[in-house]
Structure 1
Amino acid sequence: MKTLMIIGIGIILVVVIALGAISYISYDMSNRATVSETLNPNGAIVGNALVVYDPSITGNTKNVAGRIASDLKAEGYKVDLAGIKSATASNTSKYDVIVVGGPIYAGNISAAVNAYLKILKPVESTKLGVFATGDPHTTDNVLIKKQIAPISENSTFQIKAVMNVISGDDINKKCDGFVNDLLQ
């Protein structure tokens, strides 16, 4: 009886610690989703870009978003790098380029990115790119695009560039190619 009681207390303790860890991670991620910063190019400004990201547990999504923002800055864009829940991310009317990205969980883009894409209403000439970090469980580019950028067929905008970054990828090379495709 005493052994069962000790096992029961051990199980309860493990559950409490796990719930605490999950709560901490969720709280930390939601705080990172409200942060924003502006990157100004060294020379003349050729346009305004918004890079919106849903932070991942590992931080890889923010790293990729930061790399994309740096590439756009190098091309002469004034870039707002913003967490998906920030005030900056909610106003898209002044941007020539918008990039949205987040992690893939269970083979699909995060719910926050999916919801953001559903309400996104960019100006008609805006160049839009979507990226994801994580394994989409497929190598078929058509399926990857559907998983990363699940927009309806009657949407008023078109996605110009899509990228998925997985562990082991050369992030610099992938981001350079993504930004080149986006700006074409």
Structure 2
Amino acid sequence: MADRLNILGFAGSLRQGSLNRALLRAAQALAPEGMAIAVFDLRAVPLYDGDVEAEGDPEGVAAFKRAIAEADGVIMVTPEYNHGVPGVMKNAVDWASRPPRGAPLDGKPVGLIGASPGMTGSARGQSQLRQAFEFTNSPCMAQPELLVARAHEKFDAEGRLTDETTAKYLVRWLEAFAAFVRRQAAAGVAS
């Protein structure tokens, strides 16, 4: 691993005005020195279909898998829909878990953050998503958590993070994630 961490981030919401997309942009802007966060738009990833996969990965899926494989770690920014992980995010994980041996998520350090207008800040969605990493063999940073509750009050109309406390916690989370990714690489866990 080079001194510079190349991190891939993606949000589990397709809506342009998504609070989670805004949180991902804030993470890019607040990334600590030595960390670069590239963003992948999941609009390019179709619904998982084994028949389609048998014909070969669609270009959007192939690009997504390459981006994960080339990254030192992955940040997944997940909303919470109906007390759970949204289909967009689960679909992305499903594609990235294929093929079962040699999948791009195999051994890849993962960090989860999320935003919600509700009071739980995507806690249940993040919890459900963690279960998938048992199959993908992806070490997931457990602490600190970043659950942005009442997120609609913390971003302006243009999607800029305006809440100083949230920004402070995001910086701490990013620093912890950088250390986590480096520890995984030192232990020989990261791909």
- TM normalised by structure 1 equals 0.60
Pairwise CA distance, 1:111: 0.8
CA RMSD of aligned residues (A): 3.0
Pairing 1:134–2:116 present: yes
Greater RCO, 1 or 2 (C-alpha within 8 Å, sep 6+): 2
Pairwise CA distance, 1:130: 1.6
1 or 2, which has the higher strand percentage? 1
Pairwise CA distance, 1:109: 1.9
Larger radius of gyration: 1
Query: What pairs with 1:1-184 in structure 2 (closer than 5 Å)?
Result: 46-55=4-13, 57=15, 58-72=17-31, 74-86=32-44, 87=60, 88-91=63-66, 92-120=68-96, 121-122=104-105, 124=107, 126-134=108-116, 145-151=126-132, 153-161=134-142, 162-167=145-150, 168=153, 170-184=165-179
Distance in 1 between the 2:94 and 2:40 partners? 18
In structure 2, relative to structure 1, the CA distance for the partners of 1:145 and 1:81 (3 Å cut) is: closer
Pairwise CA distance, 1:129: 0.8
> How many residue pairs end up in the alignment?
137
Pairwise CA distance, 1:60: 0.9
Runs of 4+ in 1 over 4 A off after TM superposition: 135-139
SS at match of 2:21: helix
Question: Tell me, which stretches of 5 or more residues in structure 1 are unaligned?
Answer: 1-43
Answer whether contact 1:56 1:102 (CA < 8 A) is retained: no
Pairwise CA distance, 1:156: 1.3
Distance in 1 between the 2:126 and 2:12 partners? 18
Percentage identity across paired residues of the two chains: 11
1:36 counterpart residue number:
none
Pairwise CA distance, 1:145: 4.1
Answer whether contact 2:77 2:112 (CA < 8 A) is retained: yes
Distance in 2 between the 1:96 and 1:61 partners? 22
